[in-house]
Amino acid sequence: MDAISFWLVIASLILFVGYILLIAYYKRGWEECPTITPDENFRPAKTVTVIIPARNEQSNIGACISSLQQQSYPSSLLEIIIVDDHSTDDTSGVVKSFGLPNLRLISLAEFVSTDLNSYKKKAIEIGIAQSSGEWIITTDADCTSDPNWISSMMTFQQDTSAELIAGPVKLLARQRFLEIFQALDFLTLQGITAAAVYRQLHIMCNGANLGYSRRAFQAVNGFENIDAIASGDDMLLMHKVQEKFPGKLFYLKSVSAVVTSLPARTWKNFWQQRIRWSSKADKYKDKNIFRILLLVYMFNLALFLLFVISIFNFDAIIVAFILLLCKTVIEFPFVNSVAKFFNEKRLMTYFVLMQPFHLVYVIVAGFLGKFGTYEWKGRKVK
């Protein structure tokens, strides 16, 4: 084995030790995070506004509104605001066809006259300004929810006095390779989110299922100072709230609080979405996130490079395969536990198969998130 291969193997082994400890930490945190069951004695009191930014969601917004229409939370305390973000399809027509008394449609075009780098943040900001709820919940136009979603979140808020709650999200995966790959990756992210928030290692969330008090949003001046960043309407806001209200942020691990989202339909859309997510990695004030992302990225990169140099050095491929196998064995119990909670254990059949693809995905998405540009819903963003 030549010197380059030798030192790459050593670096890979050192990084792998750190990766093992990280996954073990997440697994324990996920298992310690309590599973919340519905409280039959809950008496709703707070007014709630659900805000949904929507751009060209004609085919999805109907199912989203229908699931909100079926919520067990009293309609007298529930307000639904759809913010139409310059849609070129009939998104607004679908919204208007419901004719619900607690459903409002707002056109972002009436409030925005200049180009922005984050239309979604502006849509949420305008929606909150036009709303009346004491508690704000955001979701996406392609999401559906359990009838007890809002009740579960508000019960949890009442029990914990939370200022911000990150809720569970899963992707709807059928039999297509791309959908299964996304769903498995998303399960891992959800397990990490729950463990990290519960143990306060770092804080994560997803805007498809996020709730926070109006007073918290106002206390941190909303998206001020982060409004120029294309992504981050969820996590960057969460970090601002954490600074103002330490100890008042929680993850709601409850089956009845799960929101189901749709996966990207094409590989192009998938890559654009994941690059968008990766693009804010160095924008977090919580440097624990950056350090962990760097560890994960460097380990995956080292493992990938081992496979590359194995073209010239057969010994390297043996080490690479052993590390990939060990990585799979270490991750499987953690992801399997998360999959069980989300009732998606069927996806674990594909877990081993997806490992090589996930390795490449982490490297490419991480690199392009930092140095590339992406297009999202017809807009090119840097």
Cα within 13 Å of Cα(11), Cβ side: 18
* Among 22, 26, 3, CA closest to 300: 22
* Residue 202's pLDDT band (cuts 50, 70, 90): confident
Tens of pLDDT, residues 69-93: 999 999 999 999 999 999 999 999 9
Record the pTM.
0.90
pLDDT confidence band for 24 (50 / 70 / 90): very high
How many percent of the chain have pLDDT more than 70? 93
What would the pLDDT profile of 236-274 be if each residue is shown by its tens digit? 999 999 999 999 999 999 999 999 999 998 998 898 888
What pLDDT, on the 0 to 100 scale, is given for residue 140? Answer: 96
Q: Is 119 exposed, middle or buried (0-12, 13-18, 19+ CB in 10 A)?
A: buried
pLDDT of 150 > 80? The answer is: yes
pLDDT of residue 376: 61
Under the banding of pLDDT at 50, 70 and 90, the label for residue 281 is low
DSSP label of 104? E
- Output the pLDDT for position 85: 93
Domains of the chain: 3-31+286-372 (no CATH), 35-274 (3.90.550.10)
- pLDDT for the residue numbered 230: 65
| Contact (Cβ atoms closer than 8 angstroms) between residue 156 and residue 167 | no
Which residue reads 């909670």 in tokens?
Answer: 341
- For position 275, what pLDDT does the model report? 83
